[in-house]
């Protein structure tokens, strides 16, 4: 309750809040981590040079809001209960607050309701542009000041939905390969994921491809003519020529990027 009260205060005062640091302890009985401390900072805390360093003497054309504000508040949990207390607070801001007419643009005051998410997702599925979605939604509510979100928020939501769909497609193809492996032990596949668990590379070869390679391995080419823009990956095939001078496939792969050797 005390944490939410501070969010409400920041929302009405005209500044945004972000999470600064946390502290967890390990519950020896359950083996789970328990959050016992959290520090909230003004969104303008920090140096802009640490956020967007100069590159070739230039900076990206986006707003830099951090100006070294020292405002912060620290909360502690009471005896692992659901109750929190304020441990320390510094309300010294070094910048003016957002004006009343622009408070609704603060990230702390912007959100998309569950019903609106369903609406935007349905419109995105039939390729309705986000700009048109925003205009129609604004007209229905009597103006953009009543939306509770911005075009940027809707864009981000649609983007995240597409990423989730792509990850779901990856899970489906891996599940299909696992079934093929159970049906035939000679089926081979291998995949590499990045640090965030997203698919980076995927290779597979069925028994026919493997047998063709054993017979016609004299000449092998890697063809990357076909590309998939939706998944931002390149589709490649290991190809050769059989005794009828026809192209035969030895294996296939999805690659996120190429590593060029010099």
pLDDT tens string 176-232: 888 989 989 999 999 887 776 667 788 999 999 999 999 998 889 988 876 655 566
Report the distance separating Cα 148 and Cα 145, nearest Å: 7
When comparing pLDDT for 215 and 107, which is higher? 215
What's the pLDDT tens digit per position in 146-168? Answer: 787 888 888 888 777 766 556 66
Give the pair of three-digit tokens for residue 65. Answer: 């809001």
pTM as predicted = 0.47
Residue of 215 and 112 predicted with greater confidence? 215
Instruction: Indicate the pLDDT class of residue 261, thresholds 50, 70 and 90.
Output: very low
What is the per-residue pLDDT for 188? 94
With a pLDDT cut of 90, the percent of the chain lying above it is 13
Question: Residue 138 pLDDT > 90, yes or no?
Answer: no
**Contact of 234 with 224, CB cutoff 8 Å:** yes
Please determine, for residue 16, whether its predicted confidence score (pLDDT) is greater than 80. Answer: yes
Mean pLDDT, residues 248-257 taken together: 84
pLDDT band, residue 64 (cuts 50/70/90)? low
More confident residue, 104 or 10: 10
């Amino acid at each position: 309750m005390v944490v939410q009260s501070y969010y409400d205060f920041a929302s009405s005062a005209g500044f945004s809040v972000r999470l600064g640091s946390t502290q967890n302890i390990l519950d020896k009985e359950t083996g789970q981590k328990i959050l016992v401390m959290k520090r909230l900072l003004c969104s303008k805390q920090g140096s802009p040079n640490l956020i967007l360093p100069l590159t070739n003497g230039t900076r990206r054309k986006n707003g830099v809001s951090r100006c070294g504000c020292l405002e912060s508040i620290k909360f502690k949990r009471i005896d692992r209960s659901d109750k929190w207390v304020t441990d320390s607070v510094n309300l010294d801001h070094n910048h003016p607050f957002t004006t009343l007419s622009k408070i609704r643009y603060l990230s702390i005051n912007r959100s998309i309701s569950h019903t609106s998410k369903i609406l935007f997702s349905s419109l995105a599925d039939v390729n309705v542009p986000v700009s048109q979605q925003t205009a129609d939604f604004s007209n229905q509510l009597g103006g953009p000041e009543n939306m509770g979100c911005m075009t940027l928020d809707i864009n981000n939501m649609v983007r995240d939905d597409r990423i989730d769909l792509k990850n779901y497609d990856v899970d489906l193809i891996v599940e299909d390969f696992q079934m093929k492996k159970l049906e035939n032990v000679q089926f081979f596949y291998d995949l590499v994921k990045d640090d965030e668990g997203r698919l980076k590379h995927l290779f597979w070869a069925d028994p026919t491809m493997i047998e063709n390679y054993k017979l016609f391995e004299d000449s092998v080419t890697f063809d990357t003519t076909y590309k998939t823009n939706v998944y931002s990956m390149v589709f490649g095939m290991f190809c050769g020529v059989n005794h009828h001078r026809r192209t035969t496939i030895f294996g296939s792969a999805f690659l996120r990027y190429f590593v060029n050797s010099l």
